[in-house]
A and B are shown apart, each in its own frame.
Chain A
Amino acid sequence: MKQRKGSVLRLATPIKVLVQRFAFLALIAATFALMMLGKADVVLLERVRAVAADAITPILDALSRPAATISEIMDRVHQIAAVDAENAQLRAENERLLNWQHVARQLSAENTQLKSLLNFSPAAAQSFVTGRVIADAGGAFVRSVLVNAGEREGVKKGNVVVTGDGLVGRVVTVGDRSSRILLITDLNSRIPVEIESSREQAVLAGDNTDLPEIVHLADHVTVAVGDRVITSGSAGVFPPGLPVGIVTSVSGSDIRVQPFIEWSRLEYVRVVDFGTNGILLPSVERPPPKH
């Protein structure tokens, strides 16, 4: 009897090992299948991703609140320490801004008059929803964040994401109550921009660093450090005139832009539906390989 049990065990163990090996290989194969499917841009997979993100959204939402509170407290401490200097600075700035307001009022009035003379048709109305960043686990390889607003709130794929400071990115995946935003610094981000002073068109290409690069700029154009970069609205991809960043370094053809957004402070964002699709056509999507 004892012997028989032993022989069964002797047989059972290799079978168990075999099953485990098979399960392991099957799962490895599954990861490859997923990657291939993802590469082929299957709608189903995007749906799965959105649903999965939706499922973890409540947890992330709860987890991210304490972290946000702590960072707010730290901010307050910093602010109190610098309140005097800041006050003086704000007074000066206020004076300057009042001046600007005066100018703006004049220009606005003039603009309305000129527009009525020209029968100018105004841009399409825009609507927006506000979302909170609940995950930014990009790690070293991707620059994207998850926001706790989705289809339910009216977010659509391709919507433009901004804060008061400037352009953040665009919506790439939409779930029911969450959506993923591709930041302008991501490797896959291509944004039609223009240099504000010269109105020269170019494309802002992210490369996962904090300083995206300007590509596709005409040869004769000179760009200087400190030039403001705004969206160009060419091809109807982004609305024109959104502030993007400032040119920080120019060395040969390598022009870098410091975005106006401070990424570590990104908490509330505005997802705006400008009626544009936010997606560049494939012909302009990839810049020519660098040498």
Chain B
Amino acid sequence: MYTTFWQRLDTIARRMLPVAMTLLLALFAGVPFHIPGFGEMAPAVVLISIYYWTIFRPDLLPTPAVFAIGLMQDVLTGMPLGVNALVLLLVFAVVLGQRRFFLGKSFLVMWWGFLLIVTGAMAGLWMILSSLDGTIINPLPAVFQGALTVAVFPILTWVFIRSQQALLRGV
């Protein structure tokens, strides 16, 4: 089939969707919403995005992009550089290894899988930051943050499914 320059550009733009969406979510997560207590419990939406796209379009989520998104989160949150990058890369690798299991499974199975991933990611963050700081950080806010992340998972996943159907069909 003959493809024009514009068609190719269109395809490239569409193929950037997973990375672009994840980046945008990472930025959005940093915006002050002025809701009491929200700052410390804001759902880790980037995890949801990485989880979803690793299962459904890992070809559009290159490893260096995951690394870069993690670094940007580090800069944004003020955490030591490399912490979020490491956690996201590990999440990416683990989900990639299990993606065949999730494909074609029901939504509830995916949700359950995400619960495990969030638990692992939060525990990982907690361990890394505690050891970097040399103290034991109070884990309770992380538990709340994890719970909230699992709670918003269906909403964001719905958005991802919709945008995948609308923009990535056959791309």
Contact = CB atoms under 8 A, between A and B. Distances in A.
Asked if A and B are interacting partners, one says yes
Interface band, chain A: 35 or more
Interface stretch (B3-11, B81-89, B107-115, B162-170): B81-89
Contact of A145 (B32, B40, B135): B32
Interface stretch (A63-71, A76-84, A103-111, A123-131): A63-71
A28 B27 contact: no
B75 interface: yes
Given A63-B28, A64-B31, A64-B32, A138 B40 contact: yes
Nearest to A185: B40
A134 B32 CA distance: 7
B125 interface: yes
Interface stretch (A3-11, A32-40, A85-93): A32-40
A140 B75 contact: no
A188 B32 CA distance: 22
A198 interface: no
Interface residues of B, number: 52
Contacts of B75: 49, 52-53, 56
Contacts of B81: 34-35, 37-38, 45, 48-49
A264 B36 CA distance: 5
A139 B125 CA distance: 11
B34 A68 contact: yes
Chain B interface helix/strand/loop/mixed: helix
B76 interface: yes
Contacts of B38: 264
Contact of A68 (B32, B63, B70): B32
B99 to A, nearest CB: 15
A29 B63 CA distance: 13
Interface in B112-143: 122, 125-126, 128-129, 132-133, 135, 137-138, 141-142
A188 B27 CA distance: 24
B41 A60 contact: no
Interface of B: 27-42, 44, 63-64, 67, 70-73, 75-83, 85-86, 89-90, 93, 122, 125-126, 128-129, 132-133, 135, 137-138, 141-142, 144-145
Nearest 7 pairs of A and B residues by beta carbon: A34-B82, A137-B30, A140-B141, A135-B30, A71-B34, A31-B86, A31-B82
